[in-house]
Protein backbone atom coordinates (compact mmCIF):
# COMPACT_ATOMS: atom_id res chain seq x y z
CA UNK A 1 0.00 0.00 0.00
CA UNK A 2 1.21 3.53 -0.82
CA UNK A 3 1.76 6.03 2.02
CA UNK A 4 -1.06 8.34 0.86
CA UNK A 5 -3.59 5.48 0.77
CA UNK A 6 -2.40 4.21 4.15
CA UNK A 7 -2.80 7.71 5.64
CA UNK A 8 -6.34 7.99 4.35
CA UNK A 9 -7.27 4.55 5.71
CA UNK A 10 -5.64 5.30 9.09
CA UNK A 11 -7.68 8.50 9.46
CA UNK A 12 -10.87 6.65 8.56
CA UNK A 13 -10.05 3.89 11.10
CA UNK A 14 -9.39 6.54 13.80
CA UNK A 15 -12.79 8.02 13.19
CA UNK A 16 -14.61 4.67 13.12
CA UNK A 17 -12.88 3.29 16.21
CA UNK A 18 -13.47 6.51 18.15
CA UNK A 19 -17.15 6.37 17.31
CA UNK A 20 -17.39 2.72 18.40
CA UNK A 21 -15.45 3.49 21.61
CA UNK A 22 -17.98 6.16 22.53
CA UNK A 23 -20.90 3.85 21.84
CA UNK A 24 -19.33 1.00 23.82
CA UNK A 25 -17.66 2.74 26.77
CA UNK A 26 -19.74 5.89 27.18
CA UNK A 27 -23.23 4.96 25.98
CA UNK A 28 -23.05 1.16 26.67
CA UNK A 29 -24.74 0.84 23.28
CA UNK A 30 -22.43 -0.75 20.64
CA UNK A 31 -23.56 -1.23 17.04
CA UNK A 32 -20.89 -3.69 15.89
CA UNK A 33 -19.72 -6.97 17.41
CA UNK A 34 -16.50 -7.16 19.45
CA UNK A 35 -14.97 -9.37 16.74
CA UNK A 36 -15.67 -6.71 14.10
CA UNK A 37 -14.21 -4.03 16.39
CA UNK A 38 -11.11 -6.19 16.97
CA UNK A 39 -10.67 -6.58 13.18
CA UNK A 40 -10.69 -2.79 12.68
CA UNK A 41 -8.22 -2.37 15.56
CA UNK A 42 -5.89 -5.06 14.16
CA UNK A 43 -5.96 -3.38 10.74
CA UNK A 44 -4.94 -0.08 12.36
CA UNK A 45 -2.15 -1.76 14.37
CA UNK A 46 -0.82 -3.34 11.18
CA UNK A 47 -0.88 -0.05 9.26
CA UNK A 48 0.91 1.72 12.13
CA UNK A 49 3.53 -1.04 12.18
CA UNK A 50 4.12 -0.70 8.41
CA UNK A 51 4.05 3.13 8.52
CA UNK A 52 5.30 4.15 12.03
CA UNK A 53 5.08 7.86 11.13
CA UNK A 54 1.28 7.43 11.00
CA UNK A 55 1.11 6.46 14.68
CA UNK A 56 -0.03 9.47 16.71
CA UNK A 57 -0.43 9.88 20.48
CA UNK A 58 -4.20 10.15 20.11
CA UNK A 59 -4.53 6.99 18.03
CA UNK A 60 -7.09 4.46 19.39
CA UNK A 61 -4.17 1.99 19.54
CA UNK A 62 -2.56 4.20 22.22
CA UNK A 63 -5.59 4.97 24.39
CA UNK A 64 -7.47 3.03 27.04
CA UNK A 65 -11.30 3.14 27.15
CA UNK A 66 -12.89 6.58 27.05
CA UNK A 67 -13.20 9.66 29.22
CA UNK A 68 -15.59 9.46 32.20
CA UNK A 69 -19.14 10.76 31.88
CA UNK A 70 -19.43 14.35 33.19
CA UNK A 71 -22.28 13.66 35.61
CA UNK A 72 -20.23 11.25 37.71
CA UNK A 73 -17.67 12.51 40.21
CA UNK A 74 -14.18 11.84 38.82
CA UNK A 75 -11.69 9.53 40.55
CA UNK A 76 -7.96 9.60 39.90
CA UNK A 77 -6.57 6.05 39.97
CA UNK A 78 -3.61 5.39 42.27
CA UNK A 79 -1.91 3.59 39.38
CA UNK A 80 -3.10 3.42 35.75
CA UNK A 81 -5.81 0.87 34.87
CA UNK A 82 -4.62 -0.54 31.59
CA UNK A 83 -6.00 -2.56 28.73
CA UNK A 84 -4.44 -5.82 27.48
CA UNK A 85 -2.85 -6.60 24.15
CA UNK A 86 -4.66 -9.32 22.24
CA UNK A 87 -3.83 -12.74 20.79
CA UNK A 88 -6.17 -14.41 18.31
CA UNK A 89 -4.37 -17.69 17.60
CA UNK A 90 -1.60 -20.00 18.79
CA UNK A 91 1.04 -18.19 16.72
CA UNK A 92 0.28 -14.89 18.49
CA UNK A 93 0.82 -16.66 21.82
CA UNK A 94 4.09 -18.23 20.67
CA UNK A 95 5.30 -14.76 19.62
CA UNK A 96 4.30 -13.35 23.03
CA UNK A 97 6.26 -16.16 24.75
CA UNK A 98 9.30 -15.57 22.49
CA UNK A 99 9.25 -11.81 23.16
CA UNK A 100 9.22 -12.44 26.91
CA UNK A 101 12.01 -15.03 26.76
CA UNK A 102 14.13 -12.68 24.66
CA UNK A 103 13.58 -9.68 26.95
CA UNK A 104 14.27 -11.64 30.15
CA UNK A 105 17.00 -13.91 28.78
CA UNK A 106 15.18 -16.96 30.22
CA UNK A 107 14.21 -20.13 28.37
CA UNK A 108 11.28 -21.04 30.61
CA UNK A 109 8.57 -18.75 31.97
CA UNK A 110 5.83 -19.46 34.51
CA UNK A 111 2.45 -18.03 33.55
CA UNK A 112 -0.85 -17.73 35.37
CA UNK A 113 -3.90 -18.35 33.14
CA UNK A 114 -7.23 -16.80 34.10
CA UNK A 115 -10.68 -16.67 32.59
CA UNK A 116 -11.32 -13.35 30.86
CA UNK A 117 -14.61 -12.34 32.41
CA UNK A 118 -16.80 -10.33 30.02
CA UNK A 119 -17.85 -7.48 32.26
CA UNK A 120 -16.32 -4.14 33.12
CA UNK A 121 -13.20 -3.29 35.06
CA UNK A 122 -13.66 -1.72 38.48
CA UNK A 123 -11.25 -0.38 41.05
CA UNK A 124 -12.15 -0.82 44.71
CA UNK A 125 -10.60 0.85 47.75
CA UNK A 126 -10.65 -0.04 51.43
CA UNK A 127 -9.57 2.29 54.20
CA UNK A 128 -8.61 0.62 57.47
CA UNK A 129 -10.30 -2.48 56.07
CA UNK A 130 -13.61 -0.67 55.39
CA UNK A 131 -14.99 -0.34 51.83
CA UNK A 132 -14.51 3.29 50.82
CA UNK A 133 -14.63 3.66 47.01
CA UNK A 134 -15.66 1.97 43.76
CA UNK A 135 -14.66 3.39 40.36
CA UNK A 136 -14.82 2.54 36.67
CA UNK A 137 -11.63 2.34 34.59
CA UNK A 138 -12.57 5.38 32.48
CA UNK A 139 -9.60 6.41 30.35
CA UNK A 140 -7.21 4.48 32.61
CA UNK A 141 -6.11 7.55 34.63
CA UNK A 142 -9.47 9.01 35.59
CA UNK A 143 -12.55 6.91 36.26
CA UNK A 144 -16.11 7.51 37.45
CA UNK A 145 -17.08 7.33 41.12
CA UNK A 146 -19.64 4.48 41.33
CA UNK A 147 -19.14 3.74 45.05
CA UNK A 148 -22.85 3.37 45.87
CA UNK A 149 -23.55 1.11 42.88
CA UNK A 150 -20.59 -1.21 43.57
CA UNK A 151 -21.77 -1.42 47.19
CA UNK A 152 -24.92 -3.21 45.96
CA UNK A 153 -22.80 -6.23 44.86
CA UNK A 154 -23.58 -8.79 47.52
CA UNK A 155 -20.31 -10.73 47.27
CA UNK A 156 -18.27 -7.58 47.96
CA UNK A 157 -17.20 -7.52 51.62
CA UNK A 158 -17.79 -4.11 53.18
CA UNK A 159 -15.20 -5.02 55.81
CA UNK A 160 -12.01 -6.98 55.18
CA UNK A 161 -10.54 -9.66 57.42
CA UNK A 162 -7.65 -7.25 58.23
CA UNK A 163 -7.94 -3.45 58.82
CA UNK A 164 -5.62 -2.35 55.99
CA UNK A 165 -5.61 0.30 53.27
CA UNK A 166 -5.99 -1.48 49.97
CA UNK A 167 -6.86 -0.93 46.30
CA UNK A 168 -7.90 -3.94 44.25
CA UNK A 169 -8.97 -4.32 40.61
CA UNK A 170 -11.53 -6.74 39.29
CA UNK A 171 -14.27 -7.40 36.79
CA UNK A 172 -17.92 -6.69 37.66
CA UNK A 173 -20.33 -8.85 35.67
CA UNK A 174 -23.89 -10.00 35.36
CA UNK A 175 -24.42 -13.78 35.70
CA UNK A 176 -26.12 -15.38 32.64
CA UNK A 177 -29.26 -16.37 34.62
CA UNK A 178 -29.67 -12.83 35.93
CA UNK A 179 -29.21 -11.42 32.41
CA UNK A 180 -31.96 -13.74 31.15
CA UNK A 181 -34.26 -12.80 34.05
CA UNK A 182 -33.79 -9.08 33.40
CA UNK A 183 -34.35 -9.41 29.66
CA UNK A 184 -37.49 -11.52 30.21
CA UNK A 185 -38.81 -8.86 32.58
CA UNK A 186 -38.01 -6.17 30.01
CA UNK A 187 -39.72 -8.16 27.24
CA UNK A 188 -42.83 -8.56 29.46
CA UNK A 189 -42.82 -4.80 30.08
CA UNK A 190 -42.35 -4.06 26.37
CA UNK A 191 -38.94 -2.49 27.08
CA UNK A 192 -35.96 -2.81 24.69
CA UNK A 193 -33.65 -5.75 25.46
CA UNK A 194 -30.00 -5.68 26.47
CA UNK A 195 -27.70 -7.06 23.75
CA UNK A 196 -25.43 -8.99 26.12
CA UNK A 197 -24.55 -9.33 29.83
CA UNK A 198 -21.52 -7.02 29.47
CA UNK A 199 -23.58 -4.06 28.33
CA UNK A 200 -26.27 -4.81 30.88
CA UNK A 201 -23.63 -4.86 33.66
CA UNK A 202 -21.99 -1.64 32.46
CA UNK A 203 -25.37 0.10 32.14
CA UNK A 204 -26.41 -1.05 35.62
CA UNK A 205 -23.22 0.08 37.33
CA UNK A 206 -23.25 3.46 35.63
CA UNK A 207 -26.76 4.35 36.77
CA UNK A 208 -27.14 7.51 38.79
CA UNK A 209 -29.69 5.78 41.01
CA UNK A 210 -28.08 2.97 43.08
CA UNK A 211 -31.56 1.44 43.64
CA UNK A 212 -31.52 0.35 40.00
CA UNK A 213 -28.14 -1.35 40.37
CA UNK A 214 -29.43 -3.02 43.55
CA UNK A 215 -32.29 -4.60 41.57
CA UNK A 216 -29.78 -6.38 39.32
CA UNK A 217 -27.74 -9.14 40.97
CA UNK A 218 -24.30 -8.05 39.80
CA UNK A 219 -21.25 -10.00 40.88
CA UNK A 220 -17.51 -9.45 40.97
CA UNK A 221 -14.19 -11.28 40.62
CA UNK A 222 -11.01 -9.61 41.87
CA UNK A 223 -7.91 -10.25 39.71
CA UNK A 224 -5.26 -7.85 41.02
CA UNK A 225 -4.03 -5.65 43.83
CA UNK A 226 -2.41 -2.25 43.47
CA UNK A 227 1.16 -2.24 44.82
CA UNK A 228 1.20 -6.03 45.18
CA UNK A 229 4.76 -6.25 43.82
CA UNK A 230 5.98 -4.30 46.87
CA UNK A 231 4.59 -6.97 49.21
CA UNK A 232 4.57 -10.24 47.26
CA UNK A 233 6.91 -11.86 44.74
CA UNK A 234 4.39 -13.65 42.51
CA UNK A 235 0.85 -13.29 41.18
CA UNK A 236 -0.07 -16.64 42.78
CA UNK A 237 0.87 -15.25 46.19
CA UNK A 238 -1.26 -12.16 45.56
CA UNK A 239 -4.26 -14.30 44.58
CA UNK A 240 -3.99 -16.27 47.82
CA UNK A 241 -3.69 -13.04 49.85
CA UNK A 242 -6.73 -11.48 48.12
CA UNK A 243 -8.79 -14.58 48.94
CA UNK A 244 -7.64 -14.58 52.55
CA UNK A 245 -8.85 -11.00 52.94
CA UNK A 246 -12.35 -12.18 52.07
CA UNK A 247 -12.48 -10.99 48.45
CA UNK A 248 -13.75 -13.21 45.64
CA UNK A 249 -11.16 -14.60 43.22
CA UNK A 250 -12.27 -16.68 40.22
CA UNK A 251 -11.40 -20.27 41.24
CA UNK A 252 -10.46 -21.50 37.73
CA UNK A 253 -7.00 -19.88 37.54
CA UNK A 254 -4.12 -22.18 36.73
CA UNK A 255 -0.34 -22.10 36.60
CA UNK A 256 1.29 -23.04 33.27
CA UNK A 257 5.00 -23.54 32.72
CA UNK A 258 4.90 -23.56 28.92
CA UNK A 259 2.82 -22.19 26.04
CA UNK A 260 1.67 -25.77 25.35
CA UNK A 261 0.12 -25.85 28.83
CA UNK A 262 -1.42 -22.42 28.23
CA UNK A 263 -2.92 -23.75 25.00
CA UNK A 264 -4.39 -26.79 26.80
CA UNK A 265 -6.11 -24.43 29.26
CA UNK A 266 -7.45 -22.32 26.37
CA UNK A 267 -8.79 -25.35 24.49
CA UNK A 268 -10.41 -26.69 27.64
CA UNK A 269 -12.29 -23.45 28.35
CA UNK A 270 -13.19 -22.88 24.72
CA UNK A 271 -15.16 -26.13 24.97
CA UNK A 272 -16.44 -25.69 28.52
CA UNK A 273 -17.30 -21.99 28.60
CA UNK A 274 -21.01 -22.59 28.00
CA UNK A 275 -21.16 -24.48 31.33
CA UNK A 276 -20.04 -21.43 33.31
CA UNK A 277 -22.66 -19.26 34.98
CA UNK A 278 -21.14 -16.12 33.44
CA UNK A 279 -19.78 -15.03 30.06
CA UNK A 280 -16.09 -15.18 29.28
CA UNK A 281 -14.63 -13.77 26.05
CA UNK A 282 -11.16 -15.27 26.32
CA UNK A 283 -8.26 -16.20 28.54
CA UNK A 284 -5.79 -13.81 30.19
CA UNK A 285 -2.20 -15.01 30.41
CA UNK A 286 0.10 -13.22 32.89
CA UNK A 287 3.76 -13.64 33.84
CA UNK A 288 3.74 -14.92 37.43
CA UNK A 289 7.05 -13.49 38.70
CA UNK A 290 6.89 -9.79 39.68
CA UNK A 291 10.63 -9.21 39.19
CA UNK A 292 10.20 -10.29 35.55
CA UNK A 293 7.15 -8.05 35.19
CA UNK A 294 9.22 -5.05 36.31
CA UNK A 295 11.86 -5.92 33.72
CA UNK A 296 9.23 -6.19 30.96
CA UNK A 297 7.34 -2.97 31.79
CA UNK A 298 4.45 -1.41 29.86
CA UNK A 299 3.50 0.08 26.51
CA UNK A 300 1.29 3.23 26.45
CA UNK A 301 -1.80 1.04 26.70
CA UNK A 302 -0.96 -2.35 28.19
CA UNK A 303 1.53 -4.36 30.24
CA UNK A 304 4.14 -6.29 28.23
CA UNK A 305 3.86 -9.17 30.70
CA UNK A 306 0.26 -10.11 29.92
CA UNK A 307 -1.91 -10.91 26.92
CA UNK A 308 -5.60 -11.60 26.35
CA UNK A 309 -6.38 -14.53 24.06
CA UNK A 310 -9.77 -13.78 22.46
CA UNK A 311 -12.08 -16.67 21.63
CA UNK A 312 -13.35 -16.73 18.05
CA UNK A 313 -16.65 -14.82 17.78
CA UNK A 314 -19.83 -16.75 18.53
CA UNK A 315 -22.34 -14.14 17.43
CA UNK A 316 -22.83 -12.48 14.06
CA UNK A 317 -22.90 -8.70 13.69
CA UNK A 318 -26.47 -8.89 12.42
CA UNK A 319 -27.62 -10.06 15.86
CA UNK A 320 -26.50 -6.78 17.36
CA UNK A 321 -28.08 -4.82 14.58
CA UNK A 322 -31.43 -6.52 15.23
CA UNK A 323 -31.56 -5.62 18.88
CA UNK A 324 -32.41 -2.20 20.18
CA UNK A 325 -30.00 -1.44 23.00
CA UNK A 326 -30.75 0.46 26.15
CA UNK A 327 -29.25 1.03 29.60
Is 118 or 129 the residue whose CB approaches ligand NAD more closely? 118
Which H/E stretch holds residue 127? Answer: strand 120-127
Is 129 or 282 the residue whose CB approaches ligand NAD more closely? 282
Q: Which residues contact 58 (CB under 8 A, 6 or more apart)?
A: 14
Q: Which of 144, 171, 178, 219 binds ligand NAD (CB under 6 A)?
A: 171
Does 116 sit near ligand NAD (CB under 6 A)?
A: yes
Between CA 169 and CA 186 the distance in angstroms is 31
Does 308 sit near ligand NAD (CB under 6 A)?
A: yes
Does 218 sit near ligand NAD (CB under 6 A)?
A: no
131 assigned binding-site residue: no
Residue among 96, 113, 94, 101 nearest 302 (CA): 96
Is 7 or 86 the residue whose CB approaches ligand NAD more closely? 86
Is 54 or 249 the residue whose CB approaches ligand NAD more closely? 249
Q: Which of 86, 132, 229, 270 binds ligand NAD (CB under 6 A)?
A: 86
Does 37 sit near ligand NAD (CB under 6 A)?
A: yes
CA angle 284, 93, 102 (to 5 degrees): 110
Sheet holding 130-136, edge to edge: 130-136, 120-127, 166-173, 219-225
Q: Taking the complex as a whole, how short is the minimal distance between the CB of residue 185 and ligand NAD, in angstroms?
A: 25
Between CA 33 and CA 30 the distance in angstroms is 8
74 assigned binding-site residue: no
35 assigned binding-site residue: yes
Q: Which of 13, 27, 34, 97 binds ligand NAD (CB under 6 A)?
A: 34
Q: In this structure, are residues 51 and 17 in contact, taking their beta carbons and an 8 Å threshold?
A: no
Q: Which of 32, 44, 202, 285 binds ligand NAD (CB under 6 A)?
A: 32
Q: Taking the complex as a whole, how short is the minimal distance between the CB of residue 306 and ligand NAD, in angstroms?
A: 7
Q: Using alpha carbons only, how large is the chain's radius of gyration in Å? A: 20
126 assigned binding-site residue: no
- Site track 38-67 with ligand NAD (rule: CB under 6 A), x = hit: x-------------------------xx--
Task: List b or e across 46-69, with b for residues whose CB sees 16 or more CB atoms inside 10 angstroms.
Answer: ebbeebeebeeeebbbebbbbbbe
Residue among 15, 86, 71 nearest 309 (CA): 86
Is 168 or 182 the residue whose CB approaches ligand NAD more closely? 168
Does 114 sit near ligand NAD (CB under 6 A)?
A: yes
Does 20 sit near ligand NAD (CB under 6 A)?
A: yes
Other C-beta atoms within 10 Å of 263: how many? 17
Other C-beta atoms within 10 Å of 182: how many? 20
Does 30 sit near ligand NAD (CB under 6 A)?
A: yes
321 assigned binding-site residue: no
139 assigned binding-site residue: no
Between CA 138 and CA 45 the distance in angstroms is 22
Q: Which residues are catalytic?
A: 116
Q: Taking the complex as a whole, how short is the minimal distance between the CB of residue 80 and ligand NAD, in angstroms?
A: 11
Helices (H), the chain: 3-21, 34-50, 90-104, 147-150, 176-188, 197-205, 210-214, 228-231, 235-244, 259-272, 290-296, 317-322
Q: Which of 55, 83, 141, 148 binds ligand NAD (CB under 6 A)?
A: 83
Between CA 266 and CA 311 the distance in angstroms is 9
Does 21 sit near ligand NAD (CB under 6 A)?
A: yes
Applying CB under 6 A, the residues found at the interface with ligand NAD are 20-21, 23-24, 30, 32-34, 37-38, 64-65, 83-84, 86, 114, 116-117, 121, 137, 171, 223, 284, 308
Numbered residues of the known binding site: 34-38, 83-84, 114, 137, 171, 286, 310
Amino acid sequence: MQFADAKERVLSLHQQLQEHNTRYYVLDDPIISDAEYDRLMQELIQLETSFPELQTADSPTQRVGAEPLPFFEKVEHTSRMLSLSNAFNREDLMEFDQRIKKATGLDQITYVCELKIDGLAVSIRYQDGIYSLGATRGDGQIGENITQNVKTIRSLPLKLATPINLEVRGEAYLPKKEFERINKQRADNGEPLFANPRNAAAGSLRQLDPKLAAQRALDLFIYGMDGSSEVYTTHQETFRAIKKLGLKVNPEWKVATSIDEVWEYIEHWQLERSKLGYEIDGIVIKVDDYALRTKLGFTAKSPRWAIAYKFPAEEAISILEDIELRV
